[in-house]
Homo-oligomer: A and B are copies of this chain.
Amino acid sequence: MKNYTELSDIEDLQQLITEALELKRGTPTLEIGKGKTLGMLFFNPSLRTRLSTEKAAKLLGMEVMVMNAGSDSWKLEFEDGAVMNSDKAEHIKEAAAVLSQYCDIIAVRAFPDLQNKEKDEAETVLNSFKKYASVPVVNLESATGHPLQALTDAITIYELNKKDRPKVVLSWAPHPKTLPQSVPNSFAEIMQKMDVDFVITNPEGYDLNPEITKNTPVIHNQDEALKDADFVYVKNWSSYETYGRKLTEDKTWTFSAERLMQTNNAKVMHCLPVRRNMVIADEVLDSENSVVIQQAGNRTFAAQAVLKRILEEKVKQTELGKNA
């Protein structure tokens, strides 16, 4: 694995899941990361991603340097050819090239503005790091995707599943703010790679990017969608069609005990942080059906498996270089 910025960087999902679960059972393997440094750069706040990735790196023996872009460091310019006379003191070209000398892997979190679809879909921050960094880049959630979360989700479903082909429903929920589509996008993409019966349910106007949902059924009737569900992934996102807008706060979409009853005693998932009694009701989150804590715990092993793969690729490249 050369980078992990999108799900297509995974060549063998099943093998990666198996490896993550082995790492979960296993003891730390402090050799492969020894003397290597992970640099984590946050343009936005983070709890799980920050701590689980830091922990994963340390379990591999790596050193970790964490930086809040903007407050700890300089504001970055991403535009090519800019005359830099604004408040942006450093160009991404230099920042990425310099970080590549201090870090063996660079991990970046950069949310979308949700103002301009084209701009967000250009993934300027992440792609600029990919372009100008000379070391592997890991996506800690970008404008349109969150592949570390998606891998965690796949691991959790694999770990909990007891069926041949479980039914997995991604179910929209109301929220007071406008949120990115990155988590549902990546979840949809990874479910399409798994042996599951996957459907999405959301109100009209909330259909995700059809280039991502592809052939996945999108059902606007939540009752119908939840029927026989073995896993329900509850999540809010802002409209993709009326880009970045909140069209409704319809509480009938809140995942309640009543909704749970419509399923096949489903396991309930969420990437966290979750707004209680807006997105999922207390009675569900505090029930046996909720697996959100276990899911968050798996973040460590997803990150560990990905970082391990990247470090192994580097070792392989070095060996190839020597033998050439």
Chain A interface (Cβ < 8 Å from any Cβ of B): 27-28, 35, 37, 39, 42, 45-48, 50-52, 54-55, 58, 63, 65, 67-68, 71-74, 77, 81-86, 89-91, 93-95, 97-99, 101-103, 176, 272-278, 282, 285-286, 292-293, 296-297, 300
CB pair B37 A93 closer than 8 Å? no
Contacts of A28 in B (CB 8 A): 35
Contacts of A276 in B (CB 8 A): 77, 82-84, 91, 93
Query: Complex: how many Å from CA A42 to CA B28?
Result: 28
Given A63-B58, A72-B50, is A84 in contact with B45 using a C-beta cutoff of 8 Å? no
**Chain B proximity of A55: nearest CB distance (Å):** 5
> Can you list the 10 inter-chain pairs with the closest CB atoms, starting with the nearest?
A90-B273, A84-B275, A101-B297, A47-B73, A83-B277, A85-B176, A98-B296, A51-B102, A89-B273, A97-B293
Query: Complex: how many Å from CA A50 to CA B67?
Result: 9
Given A84-B277, A85-B278, A277-B84, is A93 in contact with B51 using a C-beta cutoff of 8 Å? no
CB pair B74 A45 closer than 8 Å? yes
Given A46-B73, A81-B277, A272-B98, is A65 in contact with B51 using a C-beta cutoff of 8 Å? yes
**Chain B proximity of A110: nearest CB distance (Å):** 16
**Chain B proximity of A303: nearest CB distance (Å):** 11
Task: Report the nearest B residue to A279, measured CB to CB.
Answer: B84
